[in-house]
Amino acid sequence: MRTLARTVHGLLEIRAAAQPERTAISTDDGQRLTFAEWQGRSTAVAAALVRRGVRPGDRVGLLFGLRDWPDFAVHYCAVTRAGGVAVPVSDRQPAEAVAYVLGHCEASGLIAGPAAAVPAGPWWATTPPELAAEAEAVTGSGARTGAEDGTETGAETGPLPSVGPDAPAQLLYTSGTTGRPKGVLATHGNVVHGTRPTARHRPLTHSEEFLHSFAVGTNAGQTMLVNALDAHPAALVATRFTPGRFARLIEQRKVGSVFVVPAMAAELLNAGVQSRFDLSSVRLLGSTAAALPPTVATALTRAFPNATVVNYYTSTEAAPAQTAMVYDPARPTALGLAARGSVMVAGPDGRPLPAGETGDVHLRSPGAQRAYYRDAEAGAAVFRSGWVRMGDVGFLDEDGYLHLVDRESDVIKSGAHKVSTLQVEAAALEHPAVAEVAVVGLPHPVLGMGVGAAVVPVPGADFDPAGLRIFLAERLAAHEIPTRITVLDALPRNEGGKPLKRAVRDLLAAPA
C-alpha cells in the first residue's frame, strides 16, 4: 500500500478498490469514467504497451483534446503502469510543435485522439481503439487489475515492471513564450506529493463535482488529473470553453468547485454570466497560471457570492511548490504565503532579501525537485540548490506575503525608469471600457523602450485610446502611460491561457 500510494497509477488502484463505481471523470458531452473502468482499462492497455515494446523510462506521447479527457486519463495511467513516461500534448498544438516535442524527448510512440493531426516520425503511432483491441487480444476479456506488488497481468505478456516513487512519470513541455519549449521531467513522487489516498476526508469535500476546461498538456491540466485521483468530487470537463456554456454547467450541475485561468475569469465577467445564471453553488473558485488582476478578483467575489476566491501561483518547473492567496481587498496584489514548499525573494547572489526589497522570486518544492530534460545548461540557471528561479520579479511584505512586480523578461526599461507591465495592466483594467489588456515594451528612439498596450474593449463599450491615457494619467507616472495603444478583438494566448506577449509586441510594432 505504501508503494502504491507514491505512484500515479498506484493512487488509481487504491481509489478503484475503495470506490469502484464512483465517477472519476465526466464531460459535458455525456462521457463518464468510473474508477473501476479507469483502472481496468489502463491496466489492460499497459499490458498491450509492454507487448509493443515499451520499456521503463520510454517516453510516450499522449496527443488529446478537451473532449478526450477520459481517454487521456486512461492512457496516462497505462503509460506509467507500463513503466513509461507520459508526455501530454494538446491536439490544438500545430503538427510542427508536436513533432518538435516528440523529437526532442525521443519518444518511442504516440497515442493520439480522433481529432489529432499526427506528425510523421520515427515513433510508432496508434489510437485508443487500436490499443483497446490489442489489449483485448493480450489480456482477454476481464483483464486483471494487478496485485499489490504491481506485477500481475495477463499470462501472455508476463509481469508489468515494478515502478517506484523515484521513477519518472511525466514530461511536460513549457509554453515556449520566450523561446523553444523546454521539457520538465517529474517523478511519481513529485506528481503525487501531498495526496492522502487513505484519508477519511478527501480534498474538496464541499463538492460533488469540480469543473475545469484545461488542456492536457498544461501544468494546470496535470493538477486536475491528480485532483481526479485524490479529491472527493468527480472531475467535470467543459470540452469547449465559452462563458455561457461554462456558467450553464455550473447552474445545471450545481458545481461546488471551479478552476479557471485569469483569461477565463475575465471572459466570464465580461459576458455578464452572473446576471444570467445561478452561480450560488460554487464554494471555491480557484485561479491559476497567472496572477489575478485586483479588479478581476474583486469582481469575482461579487459574481460568485458564496465562493472563496483563491489565486494559486506556481510553474511547470516548481510544482508541487506553490503559494495560495484567498483574495483579500486589504492586500489586492498579494499572491499569498507558501502553501506547499517555501518561497524566497533573492538578490543576484541568490541570498534572501529583507521584506520590501525587490528581487528574483524562488519556490522550493517540499518533495523531489523537477528538472529540465536534455537541457542541463538551462536547468543550471533555474534549478538552484533545491530552489526554482521563477523568472519573476517581486517582494515579500512584512507578513511574508508574496507580491509580483513583473516577469523579469517583461519589465520595460524606459530611460532611467523600470516599468512594471503588471502594474500598467492592473490600472488599465480599472477603466470601465477595458475588458482585457496586454502591455509590452516597444523600441523608442530616445528612451530605448517605450510602453505599448493591446486592448480588448468591453463588448458594446465606446472605447477611446485617448480617453484611456487620460484615465491612466490619474493613476500612473508619465513614463508608465502607453504611447501606443492598439485595439484587438482578442489577445493572442497560449494553451495555458497566458497572453503571448511576443505576438502582442509584433502586432504593436507593425506599421499602423
23-55 tens-digit pLDDT: 999 999 999 999 999 999 999 999 999 999 999
How large is the average pLDDT for residues 66-72? Answer: 97
| Contacts with 358 (C-beta within 8 Å, 6 or more apart), sequence order | 345, 393, 394, 395, 405
* Residue 148 in this model has a pLDDT that exceeds 50: no
Is the bond preceding residue 320 a cis peptide, omega within 30 degrees? yes
Co-location of 396 and 416 in the same domain: no
CATH for 445: 3.30.300.30
pLDDT of residue 2: 55
| Of the residues 360, 392, 407, the one at which a domain ends | 407
Please say whether the beta carbons of 293 and 426 come within 8 A: yes
CA distance 228 to 210: 9
Closest by CA to 85, choosing from 106, 112, 103, is 106
* Residue 322 in this model has a pLDDT that exceeds 70: yes
- Grid coordinates of 298: 474583486
Angstrom CA distances, 219 to 25, 171, 268, 288, 425, stand at 18, 10, 22, 10, 24
Angstrom CA distances, 432 to 266, 463, 464, 496, stand at 13, 9, 11, 26
- Grid coordinates of 382: 533555474
Q: For 436-468, b where at least 16 C-beta lie within 10 A, e where not — what string?
A: bbbbbbbebeebebbbbbbbbbbeeeebeeeeb
Please say whether the beta carbons of 207 and 200 come within 8 A: no
Angstrom CA distances, 462 to 263, 315, 467, 487, stand at 22, 37, 10, 12
Co-location of 156 and 23 in the same domain: yes
How large is the average pLDDT for residues 186-207? Answer: 91
How large is the average pLDDT for residues 204-222? Answer: 95
Q: DSSP state, 165?
A: T
pLDDT of residue 238: 98
Q: At which residue does the C-alpha cell 521584506 appear?
A: 355
pLDDT of residue 145: 39
| Position 62 in a domain | yes
Could you tell me the pLDDT band of residue 156, with boundaries at 50, 70 and 90?
very low
Q: For the chain, what percent of residues have pLDDT higher than 90?
A: 81
How large is the average pLDDT for residues 338-366? Answer: 94
Could you tell me the pLDDT band of residue 140, with boundaries at 50, 70 and 90?
low
* Residue 13 in this model has a pLDDT that exceeds 70: yes
Co-location of 50 and 70 in the same domain: yes
pLDDT of residue 153: 42
Co-location of 56 and 179 in the same domain: yes
| Of the residues 174, 191, 208, the one at which a domain ends | 191
Pairing of strands 434-444, 448-457: antiparallel
* Residue 494 in this model has a pLDDT that exceeds 50: yes
pLDDT of residue 222: 96
Q: For the chain, what percent of residues have pLDDT higher than 70?
A: 94
| Position 362 in a domain | yes
| Position 351 in a domain | yes
Could you tell me where the beta strands, DSSP code E, fall in 183-263?
183-187, 209-212, 234-237, 257-260
The maximal CA–CA distance of the chain, rounded, in angstroms, is 75
Mean pLDDT of the chain: 92
How large is the average pLDDT for residues 252-270? Answer: 95
How large is the average pLDDT for residues 247-275? Answer: 96
* Residue 179 in this model has a pLDDT that exceeds 70: no
* Residue 150 in this model has a pLDDT that exceeds 60: no
Co-location of 352 and 464 in the same domain: no
* Residue 177 in this model has a pLDDT that exceeds 60: no
Phi, psi of 290 (to 5 degrees): -160, 165
Q: Map residue 401 onto helix, strand or coil.
A: coil
Q: Map residue 492 onto helix, strand or coil.
A: coil
CA distance 95 to 137: 31
Co-location of 375 and 401 in the same domain: yes
pTM of the predicted protein model? 0.90
Lowest mean pLDDT among 98-112, 174-188, 293-307: 174-188
Lowest mean pLDDT among 140-144, 153-157, 456-460, 494-498: 153-157
Domain with 395 in it: 324-407
* Residue 155 in this model has a pLDDT that exceeds 50: no
pLDDT of residue 147: 38
pLDDT of residue 38: 98
Q: What is the dihedral of CA 17, 18, 20, 22, to 10 degrees?
A: -160
CA distance 251 to 244: 10
Please say whether the beta carbons of 215 and 496 come within 8 A: yes
Would you tell me how many other CB atoms lie within 10 Å of the CB of residue 306? 12
Q: What is the dihedral of CA 63, 65, 70, 71, to 10 degrees?
A: -30
How large is the average pLDDT for residues 48-73? Answer: 97
Could you tell me the pLDDT band of residue 146, with boundaries at 50, 70 and 90?
very low
Please say whether the beta carbons of 217 and 90 come within 8 A: yes
pLDDT of residue 142: 43
pLDDT of residue 121: 94
| Position 27 in a domain | yes
How large is the average pLDDT for residues 244-249? Answer: 98
Co-location of 91 and 141 in the same domain: yes
CA distance 160 to 136: 16
Q: Map residue 262 onto helix, strand or coil.
A: helix
| Position 11 in a domain | yes
Lowest mean pLDDT among 265-279, 385-399, 492-506: 492-506
Note the pLDDT tens digit of each residue in 326-347. Answer: 999 999 999 999 999 999 999 9
Could you tell me the pLDDT band of residue 445, with boundaries at 50, 70 and 90?
confident
- Grid coordinates of 77: 495511467
| Of the residues 191, 215, 249, the one at which a domain ends | 191
pLDDT of residue 151: 41
Helix 128-139 vs helix 69-81: angle between axes, to the nearest 10 degrees? Answer: 50
Co-location of 397 and 503 in the same domain: no
Closest by CA to 332, choosing from 295, 357, 288, 305, is 295
How large is the average pLDDT for residues 156-182? Answer: 83
Domains held by the chain: number:
3
CA distance 411 to 195: 37
* Residue 276 in this model has a pLDDT that exceeds 90: yes
